[in-house]
Amino acid sequence: MELTAAVVAARMDKLWRRELRMELEDSVFWSDSTSVLKYIKNETSRFRVFVANRVSEILRMSNPTQWRYVPTTYNPADLASRGVRVESFLKDEMWVCGPPFLLQPKETWPVDPDDLGKLTAGDPEVKVSAIVSVEQEKDNAVTFLINRSSSWTRLSRVMAWILRLKAFLLNIRKRKVVNAQFPQPASEEGQLKDIKLCCGHLSLEEIKNSEMEIIKLCQMQRYSEEISCLQRGESVKRNSHIYKLNPMLDDGALRVGGRLSNAAMPEESKHPVIIAKDLHISDLIIRHIHQVVGHGGRNHVLSKLRQHYWIPSASVAIRRILSKCVVCRRLHGTTGQQQMADLPVDRVSHDAPPFSYVGVDYFGPFDIKRGRSLVKRYGVIFTCLVIRAVHIEVASSLDTSSFINALRRFIARRGQVKELRSDNGTNFVGAERELKRAIEGWNLEQINDTLSLKGIKWTFNPPTGSHHGGAWERLIRSIRSVLNSTLRSQSLDEEGLQTVLCEVESILNSRPLTKESTDPNDLEALTPNHLLLLKTQPCLPPGLFHKEDSYTRRRWRQVQYISDLFWKRWIKEYLPQLQERQKWTKIKRNFTPGDIVLIVDDSAPRNSWIIGRITEALPDRRGLVRQVRIKTQTSTLCRPVTKICLLEESAQS
């Protein structure tokens, strides 16, 4: 309360100086609260939020030297805050005139106490400054060796050699003491025994003893309190996380007591050794058992582990170790995924004619009769990425020239193409190179008609990324479905194949793009033919056009209206169906340069897939990586993330 009163006093001083419009020589603030004066004059300590904010406001409007101490008996404010009788108030002039010392020189004013510069010890409003010093515990040589090991087998063998050396040195020391008391000449048999002791092969018993010594040492780091209780003959405390295991000591090792003492099992399985899950040797043991069982699954590893060791929450530790196993990732790892991309502009543009944005692919082959022999023919599908219309051409082969001829026939019938999308086939890549050279020649001859391919942009999907061309791959499946039900086992000639493919094209272009309604009053389902042919009973409002509109210039009004009606329904009925992501809904980790990956090869067994390192990640406009460049032992490849498996993350990530 006194601190708040001090804030009000400072605010009033600022207000009076502004409103009086006259220069004041000085302002003096009086308070009988030594705590408030200590807060204001303090220059070293920090206060809690409430006190700190108010002291800061006071110091912004005044100076600490302006604040002075007044004894309670001379403080007029106490008359109002503590209350006074009316008779005494009328007789006392201190409320009106102030304390009498104000009329005296400053030298006679009350003197501040000596301890105003020091805060009261234990003041709850003062922030306590805590200084924490951390001293890193240095590992001994054995602990350092354990933490630096990457193999349980190698660690146990190294420890066995260390124990053998220890026994050898102790034996030499003991012999020296004995020889000092009873001198004897060194025998050749004793020397041979020493050499054999140092250089002989490690026995199974020595390796087992070394493993137990490692486990005992690590147990002392985590379960020293439990071991001390058992050594004193006491039970383990209830707050210990191994209390329910009823632990016991066996030759200095902490083992599970459990309830299986009478079971027909080996002693190691009835009373396995307890090892904390956060110890480094726990990871080494799990990794060793995982390799012993042939990189088996989590349950297999857990079953094998429990035969000798008991690791609390072992399933969590096993899952963590197995998820980092490079061999398991190579054999069973899943391919990369990323959230399904937004639809490109050429899938949602309604301001361009049909077949302005086209996807192209081959399908087949088909065996046709030519005389007495059979020859192969291929289908070339061109699909409009906007209205999903289909155009099918027949190609005589898979070479570049055959494809260029099919492309020219398509453009001659359907008009100029703005952008072509295709798989990364060799015939398509070769076609682009030849078309570029042809376009240069056409430019020299100044051919600028509508059939020129100068304005075509060609976009290739990444190699093996078939899902990037799902728009035409799904239509090829529909074509096969129609052909299988139509042709069956019949053999066609060239003319018959062209006729059948034209009929298939018509069937696909009459397929509905929107859901069919059962209400007879609803509009007919939208199809590509509504715009291509202006047929399939386009739904026109009755009475809008007259018979005269079919003649001369007025015919364009009907065509224009039908086209406009198609696009309006396309936007309202078809586009909303593309809003949902059918799969790949979550954003996954981006592949980064330096990641070690396994490159999927559908034509080879998994063990033969090659390993590479990512040199460049190719993100889209949203920053999500969908393609990567991979450096292998022999070449550099470009692959979609769905065709690679992550083996090891880069150090930068």
Q: Say what the pLDDT of residue 153 is.
A: 92
- In our burial notation (b when 16+ CB lie closer than 10 A, e otherwise), range 28-44 reads ebbbbbebbbbbbbbee
Separation CA 653–CA 648 (nearest Å): 10
pLDDT bucket at 561, cuts 50 / 70 / 90: low
CATH entry, 596-648, from 2.40.300, 2.40.50, 2.30.30, 3.40.1350: 2.30.30
Q: Say what the pLDDT of residue 288 is.
A: 94
- Rounded to an integer, what is the distance from CA 77 to the centroid of its chain? 65
Asked whether the domain spanning 596-648 has the same topology as the one spanning 348-509, the reply is no
Residue 252: pLDDT over 60: yes
pLDDT bucket at 315, cuts 50 / 70 / 90: very high
Q: Say what the pLDDT of residue 74 is.
A: 75
Separation CA 218–CA 212 (nearest Å): 10
Please answer whether residues 51 and 2 qualify as being in contact, where contact means their C-beta atoms are separated by less than 8 angstroms. Answer: no
The most confident of the ranges 89-103, 546-560, 610-624 is 610-624
What CATH homologous superfamily does 348-509 map to?
A: Ribonuclease H-like superfamily/Ribonuclease H (3.30.420.10)
Q: Return the domain boundaries, the chain.
A: 2-70+110-117, 141-324, 348-509, 529-578, 596-648
Reported as a single tens digit per residue, the pLDDT across 431-486 is 556 555 554 443 334 333 333 454 677 777 777 766 677 777 777 777 777 676 66
pLDDT bucket at 538, cuts 50 / 70 / 90: very low
Q: Say what the pLDDT of residue 489 is.
A: 58
**Side by side, which strands form the sheet with 644-648?**
636-640, 625-631, 611-619, 596-599, 644-648
